[in-house]
Structure formats: C-alpha cells, structure tokens
Amino acid sequence: MVSGIIFDIKKFAIHDGPGIRTTVFFKGCPLKCWWCHNPESQNPTPQKYISGFKVNETIGRIISVKEVFKEVEKDIIYYDESGGGVTFSGGEPFMQPKFLAALLSQAKLLEINTVVDTSGYVAWKLIKSMLSYIDFFLYDLKLFDSKLHYKYIGIDNSIILGNLKKLLQLMDYRQNINIRIPIIPTITDTSENLTQIRDFLIQNNFSGKINLLPYNPLGERKYEDLGMYYKLGYIQPPSSEKMEEIRDFFLERFNQCIIGG
C-alpha cells in the first residue's frame, strides 16, 4: 500500500471546500511564503518541535492510504448530508504525487468528493494526470509580479499562473475553483497587485469564488519553536475596513468574494 508523510488530519473542516470535510495536511512545500502560518508544513520530513527548552513532539508521520481512509470514512454520513468530502492540503499535496494519486483514486472508489488545495507550483502533467479524480480546487494566488513573487515566496510565478490558465480553459473547473488570496499589508494588498490578479481572472473567464485571507500573525510563535526565522514580525493584520474595500473591489467584477476561508 502506498504511503506518504502528513502532519495532521482535521475533522469537520468547514473552510476547506464545499460542505463538511476531513482535511489531510501533507508535509512538504516547495514555496517559502514569508507569512506562512503553517511553517511546520514546509520541510518534507518529520521534524522536532521544541517549545521552550523541552522537546515536545515530532511533527509529521508516515501514514498509508488505508490508514488515512480509516479516519476519512468515519464521517461519510456528514459528507453525504452536507455535500462535503475529503480535502488534500498542506504543504503542497502535489509534492507527493504517488501518495496523492492513490488517495484520490481511493476516494473516488468510495464515491467521496475530493478537493485539492494547491499552491499551483507543480508540473502541469501531474495535475492533468489526476484531473479525473479531482472535483474541486482551492488555488492560491498571492503576488502577480514575478519579481515580488520571487522575493517574498522564493520562486517565480510563471508555472503557477500557467497552470491556472490551463485549468480555467477546462469548463469543468471555471466554477469549481476557489481562488485564495492572502491579504498581507504592504505586500499583497497593493492596488497594483490586486488589479493585476483581478484582470488575470477576468481574462481567463474565472467564475468561481474568491476567498480573501487576512494576514494572521499567530504563526510567529511556531517559527521560534521550530528554530526558524520569522521575517514579518513588523506587520499588523489588515483592518476590517481594508478587507471590505478589497472584497468590494472583487465584487465589482465577480459574483462571489468573501473574507475568510
């Protein structure tokens, strides 16, 4: 049986796609967003989590597809009632392609709805090979300018934008993608960035929902505990007025845009 590395399984998730869901968090991410509030997801191997001077636990565990579904199947009744299912998140689920493909195909065998939450930084052929098993995407769009993307995230964004373009050319996904935009004051919340993102979505006939995710500084403590450096200590969360202003800006051109997951 195929196995992979995850760092959590969250039950009764209501912000990770339609309905009530079980979310499986893959460990490992090729991106290094300055604002990442799950820094424990970035390293693809299990790692020690140290609080103060005490070793508390190891983050990340190897788990088989069968073991994942032992948990996922417990809540099938809630998925059926709410239109929910299973969400594969992270980290970046496509970083463990064999594991993801095996989980997706098992979900389909059990007729469970599937969502993949992705950064989009993955070879198109991998996405394409799994499309028939993916009902819905949560897709992050952070910074449109390639140089800024490189500065704050560590890679350029051409693959991410290219993959989203290809997905939006497939009618099935125009509505079945939620675009998630983290609103990080002075970095992603500039009118230039938001206009470029909006224009890109218009040009590519996007017709799904946009989620605006306000910067959450609560992850800072985790960086310390993991022995990692947090670069955004100086930034405060955006005000609710600012979030509403951004939401209204997207609602001028799209039917669905909400603040939060």
Interface with ligand SF4 (CB under 6 A):
29, 31-33, 36, 38, 41-42, 90-91, 119
Q: In this complex, which beta carbon is closest to ligand SF4, that of residue 106 or of residue 119?
A: 119
How far apart are CB 206 and ligand SF4 at their closest, in Å? 20
Residue listed under structure tokens 């039950």: 11
| 160 vs 168 by CB, closer to ligand SF4 | 160
| Least separation in angstroms between CB 132 and ligand SF4 | 25
| Nearer to ligand SF4 among residue 29 and residue 112 (C-beta) | 29
Minimum Å gap between C-beta 8 and ligand SF4 is 12
Q: Rounded to the nearest 5 degrees, what angle is found at the Cα of 128, between the Cα atoms of 127 and 131?
A: 85
Helix (H) or strand (E) holding 125: helix 124-130
Q: By C-beta, is 41 or 178 nearer to ligand SF4?
A: 41
Cβ(37)–Cβ(101) under 8 Å? no
Closest CA to 165 of 211, 127, 113: 127
Least distance (Å) from ligand SF4 to the CB of residue 92?
6
Q: How far is the CB of 44 from ligand SF4 (least distance, A)?
A: 11
**Closest Cα partner for 126 from 107, 106, 104?**
104
- What residues contact residue 11 under an 8 Å CB cut-off, 6+ apart? 22, 71, 74, 75
Nearest to 145 by CA among 195, 100, 184: 195
Of the two residues 36 and 65, which places its CB atom closer to ligand SF4 in the complex?
A: 36
